């Protein structure tokens, strides 16, 4: 489903190459994977996740999604692809503070032009799986951090993307809520066939995924 071929990424200071963040990455991800990029801080796992999600450009190599090269798309084309085929869950929940839980979950669906009835049905469906269906009329400031993260996951999956990219999604959660979140994401992965890729050093995530891809100094090891 996802293929990276000889992908390199540098971070620059002025015109000088400061960090070789991704080093000749060759990687294949199959549809429906529940996979972790693991390694010490600074190893390149978040950069790799951002490259796959087309949030960061690459300096050389190619990225394919379902056999289509996507790394050379225009910014507008990348934005459209992210909107229609990808979901994102970050360490910062990034909920819209003036929208209630129901509106936050349905936000991406509304951008994509789903009908009100489709949005309502799907919001109820994912909110039930993630056990936040009793919070739908609450504003983000009125719920806990663990609940906010589950709302962020619900928003990411509501529009039925093919891929969810999750960067340190358990970083701000205690162990109980971390395990609960991972279990719920696993359930979504199995029920809906969504490929879920984590970047994390959380041992709890490591114990729960089906595949672990280790990184060091920007390279796969």
Average pLDDT over residues 108-120: 95
Report domain extents, the chain.
Answer: 36-46+78-220
User: pTM for the complete prediction?
Assistant: 0.89
Q: Name the burial class of residue 162, with classes exposed (0-12), middle (13-18) and buried (19+) by CB atoms within 10 angstroms of its CB.
A: middle
d(CA 181, CA 103): 21
Query: pLDDT of 178-215, one tens digit each?
Result: 888 899 889 889 988 899 999 998 899 999 999 999 99
Query: pLDDT of 11-49, one tens digit each?
Result: 987 777 788 999 999 999 999 999 999 999 899 999 999
Cβ atoms within 10 Å, residue 112: 15
pLDDT at residue 125, rounded to an integer: 92
pLDDT above 80: residue 76: yes
Q: What is the mean pLDDT of the chain?
A: 93
CA dihedral (48, 28, 220, 165) positive or negative: positive
177, 169 in Cβ contact below 8 A? Answer: no
Average pLDDT over residues 141-166: 92
Which CATH fold topology does 36-46+78-220 show?
Rossmann fold (3.40.50)
Q: How many helices (H) and strands (E) does the chain have?
A: 8, 10
Any idea what the Cα angle at residue 75 is, between residues 70 and 81, rounded to 5°? Answer: 50
């Amino acid at each position: 489903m996802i293929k990276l071929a000889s992908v390199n990424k540098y971070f620059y200071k002025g015109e000088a190459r400061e960090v070789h963040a991704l080093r000749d990455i060759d990687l294949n991800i199959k549809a429906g994977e529940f996979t972790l990029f693991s390694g010490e801080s600074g190893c390149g796992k978040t950069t790799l996740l951002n490259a796959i999600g087309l949030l960061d450009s690459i300096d050389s190599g190619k990225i394919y999604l379902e056999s289509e090269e996507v790394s050379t798309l225009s910014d507008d084309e990348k934005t459209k692809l992210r909107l229609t085929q990808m979901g994102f869950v970050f360490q910062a929940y990034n909920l819209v503070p003036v929208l209630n839980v129901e509106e936050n979950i349905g936000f991406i669906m509304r951008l994509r032009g789903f009908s009100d009835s489709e949005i309502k049905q799907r919001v109820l469906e994912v909110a039930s799986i993630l056990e936040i269906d009793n919070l739908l009329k609450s504003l983000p400031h009125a719920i806990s951090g663990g609940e906010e993260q589950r709302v962020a996951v619900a928003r990411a999956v509501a529009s039925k993307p093919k891929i969810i990219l999750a960067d340190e999604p358990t970083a701000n959660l205690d162990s109980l809520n971390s395990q609960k979140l991972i279990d719920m994401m696993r359930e979504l992965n199995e029920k809906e066939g969504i490929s879920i890729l984590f970047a994390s050093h959380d041992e709890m995530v490591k114990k729960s995924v089906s595949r672990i891809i280790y990184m060091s100094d920007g390279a796969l090891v």
